Chains A and B, each alone.
Chain A
Amino acid sequence: MVKFLKPNKAVIVLQGRYAGRKAVIVKSFDEGTRDRPYGHCLVAGINKYPCKVIRKDSAKKTAKKSRVKCFVKLVNYQHLMPTRYTLDVDLKDAVSVDALQTKDKKVAACKATKARFEERFKTGKNRWFFTKLRF
């Protein structure tokens, strides 16, 4: 009886090109909209996970290994698996529904989330979110 599909919830995308990738809910539309008359949410997720960084790596190598490739997508609730994890990263200003209208806005949104995700990865917090789900 507690709503759990809220912003900052970590979810796993189940269907589509990004199946198996972890994502975070940015904005949820429980009642749906005119175009999408079902419950869905805007998620920002990881397309390519960062590699494992070891102590031996040089600064240049860690920079290269910590790169994260992101995606932004509107996903139906049925195609998500919610988890008990949350990721409090402020993405509301970077990612919005109108960012998905044109390609260059989408690229800009992905770039902004990429920066936020990379700095979060570098702090070492939310380690679960940045590890690849093995299946």
Chain B
Amino acid sequence: MVAAKKTKKTHESINNRLALVMKSGKYTLGYKTVLKSLRSSKGKLIIIANNCPPLRKSEIEYYAMLCKVGVHHYNGNNVDLGTACGKYFRVCCLSIIEPGDSDIIKSMPGDH
């Protein structure tokens, strides 16, 4: 019961931080651009939805491992992640390039 409560609170905090990044920072949405940002070592944090196909998820994780970039598995599917980004479409994975005013990069990778 306590664990469930804790995840709900941190879930909301992820959403808040993500909203702040959307407003003030730089990001890219979508698998192709996420890989591009990892190749050019511009991405600082990758967020993957939970219904991402497992092959794609492990590919992104492998690239992130080579890049030494944190990956956060979002607690929600691509519809929820799109809503959290304030978009009206589905987002399966996104890459944060500049966090702006948010502290998402400092607080999230330990979270995972």
Using a CB–CB cutoff of 8 Å, the interface residues on chain A facing chain B are 1-5, 30, 39, 77-78, 81-82, 84
The 3 closest A-B pairs by CB, nearest first: A4-B66, A3-B41, A2-B68
Query: CA separation between A5 and B35, bound complex, in Å?
Result: 12
Are B66 and A2 interface neighbours, CB within 8 A? yes
Query: CA separation between A77 and B96, bound complex, in Å?
Result: 21
Report A-chain residues with C-beta under 8 Å of the C-beta of B63: 82
Residue B67 is within 8 A (CB to CB) of chain A in the complex: yes
Most A CB within 10 A of own CB, among B35, B43, B67, B68? B67
Residue B39 is within 8 A (CB to CB) of chain A in the complex: yes
Task: Determine the main DSSP class of A at the interface with B.
Answer: loop
Query: CA separation between A82 and B41, bound complex, in Å?
Result: 14
Are B68 and A1 interface neighbours, CB within 8 A? yes
Query: Smallest Cβ distance from A10 to chain B, in angstroms?
Result: 11
Report B-chain residues with C-beta under 8 Å of the C-beta of A39: 39-40
Query: CA separation between A39 and B40, bound complex, in Å?
Result: 9
Report B-chain residues with C-beta under 8 Å of the C-beta of A81: 59
Report B-chain residues with C-beta under 8 Å of the C-beta of A77: 39
Query: CA separation between A82 and B64, bound complex, in Å?
Result: 11
Chain B residue at minimum C-beta to C-beta distance from A2: B68
Query: CA separation between A26 and B41, bound complex, in Å?
Result: 19
- Over the window 1-17 of chain B, the binary record of Cβ atoms lying under 8 Å from chain A Cβ atoms (1 yes, 0 no) is 00000000000000000
Report A-chain residues with C-beta under 8 Å of the C-beta of B66: 2, 4, 82, 84
Report B-chain residues with C-beta under 8 Å of the C-beta of A3: 41
Are A5 and B68 interface neighbours, CB within 8 A? no
Q: 24 A-B residue contacts at CB 8 Å? A: A1-B41, A1-B44, A1-B67, A1-B68, A1-B69, A2-B41, A2-B66, A2-B67, A2-B68, A3-B41, A4-B41, A4-B66, A4-B67, A5-B39, A30-B40, A39-B39, A39-B40, A77-B39, A78-B35, A81-B59, A82-B63, A82-B66, A84-B65, A84-B66
Report A-chain residues with C-beta under 8 Å of the C-beta of B41: 1-4
Query: CA separation between A3 and B38, bound complex, in Å?
Result: 8
Chain B residue at minimum C-beta to C-beta distance from A77: B39
- Over the window 81-98 of chain B, the binary record of Cβ atoms lying under 8 Å from chain A Cβ atoms (1 yes, 0 no) is 000000000000000000
Query: CA separation between A134 and B91, bound complex, in Å?
Result: 32
Query: Smallest Cβ distance from A64 to chain B, in angstroms?
Result: 36
